[in-house]
Amino acid sequence: MQTFLYRVGPLALPDVEDAPGATLRSPSFRLFQRRLFSNGQNMDMNCDRLRLIDDICRRLDGVPLAIELAAGRASILGLEHLRVGLEELLLYLGGGFRTAQERQKSLRASLDWSFEMLSDRERAVFRRFCVFGYPFNAEAACLIARDDALNDSAVMDCVCKLVDKSMVEIRFEGTVVTYRVLALARAYGREKLAEAGELDAIVERYALYASGQSTDEDFTQTSRQAPHTAAQPETLRDFWQLAS
């Protein structure tokens, strides 16, 4: 039997400057609305509700599973309550269809399943990429992710595999290629970065890169010795807000 792979990427979102009518036509909005209505919530779409749904879909990067789970929550909690709750993405979204597979009933279960499918090298590269809150190029990927066991070639090999496994998005703009980790996967990867004991070192490495002070010597030093000061929770929260 022949097997076919269908890649399901994020659904399209309207441009920020588009009129409300564009929101109504966007695939992400239509999925949210359909899931909301299937739960018996046939609410009128006034301007305030359109803005709320647009904001929710943007925070979820148009990810279909996340939108379905969010709409299910909105049908019980309301749109405003849902939007506030999305400050904690992974904690807040669960309760998919009862007939769904376990990995499709919550965002964390889905991400756990995807993460377990990665090799040790791919896991390391993925979690380190989660310091980026914006698209990054191959040079930045190598500067942040490489170590004594992962040279630039090995990092880019992992990038290819992470793209194939939908853990990293790839974008083409003419001849320019960039990569991006979506917000949901990024929140998950940052947890894994802390669990691996790499958080301080990679945050310091990213700070050097972002400030334009990074050199090969700086990165070698950062990866081989403990950072000068341990990052405090408040500092880390500020960093994630800036990097997101």
Mean pLDDT, rounded, for 200-207? 91
> What are 184's two structure tokens?
């949901």
pLDDT per residue over 13-23, tens digit each? 877 666 666 77
Give pLDDT, residue 242: 45
In the three-class reduction of DSSP (H, G, I as helix; E, B as strand; rest coil), residue 146 is classed as coil
Q: Do 46 and 128 have their domain in common?
A: no
Q: Do 122 and 229 have their domain in common?
A: yes
Give pLDDT, residue 49: 86
Whole-model pTM: value is 0.72
pLDDT per residue over 98-122, tens digit each? 444 455 457 788 889 999 999 999 9
Q: Give the structural domain span for 54.
A: 20-107
Rounded Cα–Cα distance for residues 42 and 13 (Å): 22
Q: Do 93 and 130 have their domain in common?
A: no
Q: Percent of the chain having pLDDT more than 70? A: 72
Q: Is residue 71 part of a domain?
A: yes
Give pLDDT, residue 89: 67
Count Cβ neighbours within 10 Å for each residue of 166-199 and write b for 16 or more, e otherwise: ebbbeeeeeeeebbbbbbbbbbbbbebbeeeebb
Angle between the 183-195 and 199-210 helix axes, to the nearest 10 degrees?
130
Confidence of residue 221 (pLDDT cuts 50, 70, 90): very low
Q: Is residue 15 part of a domain?
A: no
